[in-house]
Structure 1
Amino acid sequence: MKRWLKRLFIILLVSALMLSAAMTWNVYHTSVPEPSHFATFTPPPTFQPLRLRVVTWNLWGIFGFTPRRAERMQIIAREIVKLKPDIVGFQEVFVQADRNLLTTALREAGLPHSRYFPSGLVGSGLLLVSRYPFESEGFIRYAENGRPEAVHHGDWWAGKGLSLSAMRLPDGTLLYVANTHMHARYRGQYLATQLAQGRQLIPWAARVKDTGSPALWLGDWNSKPDSDILAPLIASGGWQHLTGDKAAIDHIFGSGTAWQWHVLSLGKLTGLLSADPKIPWSDHAARWIEVELRRRP
């Protein structure tokens, strides 16, 4: 009996140490530091209107939890290439094999630049792919991000946040592009968490605004644009809602005091597996826009 008690004690001790190590790693592991360079930008007098096709898509890519993940990713890679995008912000791309598949497909379609933002125990899930080279990158991890005991929700263990990258357009113009995945509401359980995440981003939106550069803000915001979570953020950054659907929770916003974002076309992309029509490509539809970036008169 004493031998079994001893073994049980050792198992419990090792389990406690492993859990403690995992939680410590989750809290402190963020590979990309916060943005630090925000230079004032003056639009070149020779700037010509530039067309951009931009996509945001939550891919429902959680290893072991989402159905037929590998099969869905093959289809998503094919469909995203058909859109002929210039910039794509993905969320919930937690599996390395899925990231490799997407970046390879888009590289062959003319988007050679990509960044993933490791954070927490399982990663942020944020992947940004672009036709244009990256000038700088940063990651703002959310200080409030759910509860560790809510493993079935998973947000705390994912180390979520907002990636903020700067890209150099062909004429030298600096374009900021952000990508995020805010905490889900879960029937109102995490309203305080969402409010805290929105407040945390307000000074960052203001810093980008102060540079005078154009910026795009992509992601699964898990909130409507007129909500208490997003409305203050939109106001502080001078954001324009480009995807148009005010009932949606996935959005693309544009900003820039010296710039205009003129929406030429927009839409969403979704579908069902032909092998199993009960399963969608993702539990979110892709949101895409084609815009023309212009200098403000």
Structure 2
Amino acid sequence: MEKDPALRLRVFDLNCWAIRYLSKRRQERIRLIGDRLCQEGFDLVLLQEIWSERDYSDLKAKLGGCCPFSHYFRSGVIGSGLCVFSKFPILDTLLYQYSLNGYPYMLQHGDWFCGKSVGLVVVRIAEITFNIYVTHLHAEYSREKDTYLPHRVVQAWELAQFIRHTAKAADVVLLGGDLNMHPGDVGIRLLRSWTGLQDAYTEAKHFEGCEDGCTLTPNNCFTVKSELQPFPSGIRIDYILYKAISSFTVKCEELRTTTGTVPGMDIPYSDHEAVMARLCIQRRGQTAGVTIGTAMPALVEVLSEARTEVCMGLLTARRQRYSSGRMAVLAMLLLLLQVVGVLGVLGGLAAGKPFPALSFSLLAFLALAILLLAAGLHLFHSIEVKMLQGTKEQMEMVIRGLQEQPLHRH
């Protein structure tokens, strides 16, 4: 029987750093990104941090000839920043917003307002169904004191669960995005172990680009050099991951990254380097058997490590919930004291004593402001506790199932 011809797919992934009013030379870089995509004619384009719908519309108009099908994922206060452009018709889409995504009071970081999510588009190419995922996880602002690590682990878990439960009808799964995790971090190991996704960088037959495949480098004029001091070559946090389901194989023939400035220009496309992969998809003779048992001990170990990080976050969230609740109670007591004081002063008005309206008003306003702030924080941390507790229980259930599985295999 003659072998089916191979399908070759060219994929482009980039965190575009296109924050309106804040990102340097944003509109110029968006034009350059559009020019590059038109010149190379990629089959699939996965973009993050396209925060302005106008930027998306400009790219959509420019890519109409090479990638006429697209989708922009909307979520959060300012949007998810995620969009997909495709040479092939998009049959279906779905968005999942992560349950935890930083703190609303950390204004200097702003991740909470972005509505970090994972977007799914379904594309059918040459009778092969592709589930294509694009995502952007919470940033790591400090390697030494990573306050957001439990949130990012929860996001990695939810991403893995979302892929597992939505990819059952697909032939090929493809994930691209800024995962904000180093290759050895617990979150990326959890994601890959639980989904079976392969890393295009480690699997590529040929690589060309930045040293070690780094996508955030100190040579980039837009990066914060102090944050990359421990990593002279940079860090790799942007990925193209893939796997085949059913009777197909996927291989990465080539992986490239951009390397600094745009040819002929004095600026790069973004503060991140783009990742570009050429994948080869081919039908195999028979469906391969499931080999979860061989990787089961390693999977249990990764799940246990991730559960530990979630538990640490749960303890912190409970402390913060208690502190904010106590603050709310104290503010309420202060308001009650104000009411008692007002009644006492009003009782003394008959004796001709003046009523200090300004002082009472200022104190009452302060107490009310503290009460509202504390109540809001208590509500937020209560939700955080529930989400972390739920993730912990899910992980424990999976660990138990994996540990009991060999007992029933004969």
- How far apart are the structure 2 equivalents of 1:243 and 1:82? 23
| Structure of greater Rg | 2
Q: Deviations over 1:4-54 (max 9, x none)?
A: xxxxxxxxxxxxxxxxxxxxxxxxxxxxxxxxxxxxxxxxx9853101000
- CA pair 152-107 structure 1, distance change in 2 beyond 3 A: same
**1:72 paired to 2:60:** no
- CA pair 193-82 structure 1, distance change in 2 beyond 3 A: same
Does structure 2 retain, via aligned residues, the 8 Å contact 1:209–1:255? no
Matched ranges for 1:15-94 at <5 A: 47-94=4-51
* Corresponding residue for residue 135 of structure 1: 91
- How far apart are the structure 1 equivalents of 2:42 and 2:262? 23
- Stretches of 4+ moved more than 6 A in 1? 273-276
AA aligned to 1:174 is T
Q: 1:237, CA displacement in angstroms?
A: 1.3
Q: 1:205, CA displacement in angstroms?
A: 2.3
AA aligned to 1:294 is Q
AA aligned to 1:179 is V
SS in 2 for 1:202: helix
Q: 1:107, CA displacement in angstroms?
A: 1.5
Does structure 1 retain, via aligned residues, the 8 Å contact 2:16–2:271? yes
- How far apart are the structure 1 equivalents of 2:183 and 2:265? 34
* Corresponding residue for residue 184 of structure 1: 139
> RMSD in angstroms over aligned alpha carbons?
2.1
- How far apart are the structure 2 equivalents of 1:274 and 1:234? 35
SS in 1 for 2:182: coil
* Corresponding residue for residue 241 of structure 1: 199
Does structure 1 retain, via aligned residues, the 8 Å contact 2:131–2:167? no
Does structure 2 retain, via aligned residues, the 8 Å contact 1:270–1:282? no
- How far apart are the structure 1 equivalents of 2:92 and 2:269? 32
AA aligned to 2:255 is L
AA aligned to 2:41 is K
**1:113 paired to 2:101:** no
**1:153 paired to 2:109:** yes
Does structure 2 retain, via aligned residues, the 8 Å contact 1:238–1:256? no
Counterpart pick for 2:156 among 172, 176, 198: 198
**1:268 paired to 2:257:** yes
- How far apart are the structure 1 equivalents of 2:96 and 2:275? 23
Structure number with higher relative contact order (C-alpha < 8 Å, ≥ 6 residues apart): 1
Q: 1:290, CA displacement in angstroms?
A: 0.8
AA aligned to 2:279 is V
Q: 1:238, CA displacement in angstroms?
A: 1.2
In percent, how many aligned pairs have the same letter? 30
- CA pair 212-132 structure 1, distance change in 2 beyond 3 A: closer
SS in 2 for 1:194: helix
Q: 1:266, CA displacement in angstroms?
A: 1.4
* Corresponding residue for residue 172 of structure 1: 127
Does structure 2 retain, via aligned residues, the 8 Å contact 1:164–1:178? yes
SS in 2 for 1:211: coil
Alignment gaps of 5+ in structure 2: 203-212, 215-234, 286-410
Tell me the TM-score normalised to structure 1 length: 0.78
Does structure 1 retain, via aligned residues, the 8 Å contact 2:250–2:279? yes
Q: Deviations over 1:227-272 (max 9, x none)?
A: 2001121112111111334851000011123322222221012443
- How far apart are the structure 2 equivalents of 1:163 and 1:46? 34
* Corresponding residue for residue 225 of structure 1: 183
- CA pair 112-73 structure 1, distance change in 2 beyond 3 A: same
AA aligned to 2:97 is R
- CA pair 209-281 structure 1, distance change in 2 beyond 3 A: closer
Aligned length: 250
Alignment gaps of 5+ in structure 1: 1-44
- How far apart are the structure 1 equivalents of 2:251 and 2:276? 14
* Corresponding residue for residue 26 of structure 1: none
Q: 1:274, CA displacement in angstroms?
A: 8.5
- How far apart are the structure 1 equivalents of 2:201 and 2:166? 20
Counterpart pick for 1:284 among 266, 269, 272: 272
Does structure 1 retain, via aligned residues, the 8 Å contact 2:131–2:170? no
AA aligned to 1:77 is G
Q: 1:215, CA displacement in angstroms?
A: 1.0
* Corresponding residue for residue 100 of structure 1: 57
SS in 1 for 2:106: coil
- How far apart are the structure 1 equivalents of 2:49 and 2:11? 18
Q: 1:101, CA displacement in angstroms?
A: 1.8
Q: 1:161, CA displacement in angstroms?
A: 0.6
Does structure 2 retain, via aligned residues, the 8 Å contact 1:243–1:287? no
